[in-house]
Structure 1
Amino acid sequence: MFKTRITYYILIAAFCLVAVSTAGCGQTTPGGDKSNLKDTEDVAAKTVVQPPTPKKLTEKELSLLPPDIRRIKERGRLRVAMFWQDRPPFFYADDQGHLVGIDVTLARDIARWLEVDVVFDRQSKSFDEVVDRVAAGQADIAISKLSVTLSRAQKVRYTQPYVVFNQALLVNRLALTALESKHPDREPLDLVINSAQQIGVRTATSYVEYGGILFPNSAITSFTKLDELIAAVQEGKVMAAFYDEFELQNQVNKNPKLSIYTKLFVLKDRVDPIAMAVAPEDGQLLAWLNLYLDIMRQDLLIDQQLAKYSGGVQ
C-alpha cells in the first residue's frame, strides 16, 4: 500500500461526485441535473465530449462579462487540455471506457459552476504540448497533473497548486555503495546530488528542467517510458531515476523486488506543485479559478484513494 501521506488541496466534490452524477456533499449543482450524461469519445482526436447543455445568456448578460469568460459562455463548452496517456488516479479510462479521475472530476465541476459543458482535448503527446495548446488558444485550461516550471510559466499563467508532491530519487544500490565507499564521511543523498553522475528522467516532463537545476554536475538522460527508466536504474545504466514520489513509490509497490536493487529517497525540501494553467491574457478566468479553489479547498489526506488507484501507466 502506498504509505506516503500527501496533502491534496482539492474540492470535496472531487471525491463526492462520480463521473456521471451531480449529486453529492449536499451541494446544488448549477446548470441543472446532468446525471444522465455519458461521455462519447472521438477516437481520432483522443477527445471525450459531453453532450452540450449550456445555459444560454442574453446579449446584455454576455456584454457584462470579460472577454475570456464571455468566450467560454458563448461557445457553451470549456475546452480542457489533458495528456493523451492515462495517469491514474488523475485521469484514466475505467472498466467501462469512461474517462474518470481527480483531474476529470475537477474539470467537470468547474464547467458546472461556469454553467457550460466540458470537452477533454487529449491530443497532446507530452505535458509540454498540453501547455502549448493552452498558450495557442486551442484549449481554455490545462488540467493534467501539470507540474509548475519556470519555462512553462513563460507561456501560460498557473493557478495556485491543488496538489503538492515531493520530488524523489530511485537510486541503484550497487552504484550508491561504491560511491559511499569512496566518500564515507558524506551523506548518501548529498553524494548523489553533488557528484558527477548519470541521472534519468522522463522525456518532456518537468523533471528535465528540475534535473538541470538539482544536478548541475550530472548528465541528464531522458527516457520516453517509465519502465525503460526504471530498468536503466536496475541495470546500472543510470545512477538514479528522478521523478515525483508518487510515481516512484508506485513502481516500488508494484514490484517489491525493485527494493533489492534500488533505494528510494524522498526529497523533503523539494516540491513538485501541480496546478492548472490558462493563457496569459485570460486574467479573469485565472482569478475565477483561484477563487474556486479557495472556496472549495479542504485539506484531504487521501492515502486510501491513492492506494486504490496506484496502478500507474507505463
Structure 2
Amino acid sequence: MKAILKLTLGVLLASTGLASADTLEKIAAAGKIVVGVKNDYRPWGYLDASGNIVGLEIDLAKDIASRLGVEVELVPVVASNRMEFLQQGRIDLIIATLGDNPQRREVVGMVEPNYYAGGANVLAPKANGLKEWTDLEGKDLCAIQGSYYIRETTQKYKANILAFAGVPEATAALTNGSCVGLLYDNTWIESQLASEGSWADYEMPFVTEQLQPWAIAVPLAELDGPYGLKISEIITDWHKTGYLIEANAANGIAASPFLEEQHEKFK
C-alpha cells in the first residue's frame, strides 16, 4: 500500500510541477495521517461511552486516511492550540470546526472548498430572559478561548467575556451561574438543545450572527502543493457525491443549507 501511495505522490509532483510534498511523504513513510480533532464538540467530535473519539469530523478524517491508503491517528485539539499544533508538525491536518477567516489564512493553509459552516449564538438559561444580542451589555458571558466571534461580540455588544480552555470548563461555569450564557457556534448549541439531557431549561435566544464557513487546514507552505491539492480534491468529491450530506445525517445532525448549496454547485 505504501508503494502505491509513493507512486501516487510521484504522479502528483510531476503533474503540479512542484518540488516538495513533505507532508504526503511523511504520511506515506509513517503509514498514517495524524489529524487534530475536537473531542468535546458533539456530534462533530466527542468521546463515546467507551472513551473513543467519534463524530462527523472523525468520519471525515477516516475517509481521508482511507483515500490515502493509510491509518488515521486522532489527536484532541481545542480552539487555542489547533493551529499551533499544525505549525509545530504535531499533527498533519486540522478537522476541528475551524472557522475560515483572513487572519487564520495567514497562519495555516485553509483548503478550499470549505466543508461546513456555522455562526455565533448563545446557549442561555430560559430564566435569564435574554431576547436580543444587546441584552448582553455589561453581563458576564462564557466563551471558549480562541473562538473567532469573541472580538466582535465584545466590541459590538459590550459583553464581559469569561474565556475558558474548553467546552467542559465553559459549560460548568454556565451551569453554576458564573455567566448569563455561553457564546459558541450555533451548530453545537442546536445539537445540544435537540438531544435528551440537561439542557431542557436552556435556549438559543438570538438570531445567529457572524456566519462563517469551516475549513480543513494543512501547513501554510503546502496549501498550493500536492498535499493541499489532494485534500482539496477529496473535499470537492465529498460535495459532488453528496457524501457530506449523508455523513451529516448519519451523525444525527439537522440538514445543512450550506451542504445542500455546495452539493448543487459541485454535482
TM-score (norm 2): 0.70
Distance in 1 (alpha carbons) for counterparts of 2:121 and 2:83 = 24
Checking the alignment, whether the CA contact within 8 Å between 2:116 and 2:214 is kept in structure 1 is yes
Using the TM superposition, give the Cα deviation of residue 290 of structure 1 relative to its aligned residue in structure 2, in angstroms: 1.8
Map 1:234-273; keep pairs closer than 5 Å: 237-252=178-193, 253=195, 254-259=197-202, 263-273=203-213
Checking the alignment, whether the CA contact within 8 Å between 1:197 and 1:218 is kept in structure 2 is yes
Partner residue of 1:143 out of 82, 95, 104 = 95
Aligned to 1:55: 4
Checking the alignment, whether the CA contact within 8 Å between 1:131 and 1:155 is kept in structure 2 is yes
Q: Which string of whole-angstrom CA distances, capped at 9 and with x for unpartnered residues, describes residues 201-227 of structure 1?
A: 12x241xx3121123122211134545
Aligned to 2:33: 78
Partner residue of 1:222 out of 145, 160, 163 = 163
Map 1:198-213; keep pairs closer than 5 Å: 198-202=140-144, 204-206=145-147, 209-213=148-152
Checking the alignment, whether the CA contact within 8 Å between 1:81 and 1:141 is kept in structure 2 is yes
Map 1:1-314; keep pairs closer than 5 Å: 55=4, 57=6, 61=10, 64=14, 66-68=19-21, 69-83=24-38, 85-95=39-49, 98-122=52-76, 124=77, 126-159=78-111, 160-173=113-126, 175-176=128-129, 188-192=131-135, 195-202=137-144, 204-206=145-147, 209-216=148-155, 217-224=158-165, 226=167, 229-230=170-171, 232-233=173-174, 237-252=178-193, 253=195, 254-259=197-202, 263-282=203-222, 283-284=224-225, 285-297=227-239, 298=242, 300=245, 302=248, 305-306=251-252
Q: 1:256 to 1:145 in 2, by over 3 A?
A: closer
Distance in 2 (alpha carbons) for counterparts of 1:226 and 1:279 = 26
Using the TM superposition, give the Cα deviation of residue 136 of structure 1 relative to its aligned residue in structure 2, in angstroms: 1.9
Distance in 2 (alpha carbons) for counterparts of 1:175 and 1:58 = 60
Q: 1:231 to 1:251 in 2, by over 3 A?
A: farther
Distance in 1 (alpha carbons) for counterparts of 2:70 and 2:180 = 49
Equivalent residue of 1:128, what SS? coil
Using the TM superposition, give the Cα deviation of residue 139 of structure 1 relative to its aligned residue in structure 2, in angstroms: 2.2
RMSD: 3.5
Checking the alignment, whether the CA contact within 8 Å between 2:121 and 2:186 is kept in structure 1 is yes
Checking the alignment, whether the CA contact within 8 Å between 1:134 and 1:140 is kept in structure 2 is yes
Q: Which amino acid aligns with 1:264?
A: M
TM-score (norm 1): 0.61
User: Considering only CA atoms, is the larger Rg found in Structure 1 or Structure 2?
Assistant: 1
Equivalent residue of 1:294, what SS? helix
Larger helix percent: 2
Equivalent residue of 1:191, what SS? helix
Q: 1:200 to 1:60 in 2, by over 3 A?
A: closer
Q: 1:112 to 1:236 in 2, by over 3 A?
A: closer
Structure 2 residues without counterparts, runs of 5 or longer:
255-267
Checking the alignment, whether the CA contact within 8 Å between 1:172 and 1:236 is kept in structure 2 is no
Structure 1 residues without counterparts, runs of 5 or longer:
1-30, 32-52, 178-187, 309-314
Checking the alignment, whether the CA contact within 8 Å between 2:43 and 2:253 is kept in structure 1 is no
Aligned length: 237
Q: Which string of whole-angstrom CA distances, capped at 9 and with x for unpartnered residues, describes residues 159-179 of structure 1?
A: 2321212321134555547xx
Using the TM superposition, give the Cα deviation of residue 130 of structure 1 relative to its aligned residue in structure 2, in angstroms: 1.9
Distance in 1 (alpha carbons) for counterparts of 2:52 and 2:174 = 35
Using the TM superposition, give the Cα deviation of residue 114 of structure 1 relative to its aligned residue in structure 2, in angstroms: 2.3
Distance in 2 (alpha carbons) for counterparts of 1:256 and 1:113 = 38
Q: Percent identity?
A: 18
Using the TM superposition, give the Cα deviation of residue 67 of structure 1 relative to its aligned residue in structure 2, in angstroms: 1.6
Q: Which string of whole-angstrom CA distances, capped at 9 and with x for unpartnered residues, describes residues 98-155 of structure 1?
A: 5433222212221222233333234x4x333221111122322112233335543332
Distance in 2 (alpha carbons) for counterparts of 1:86 and 1:218 = 25
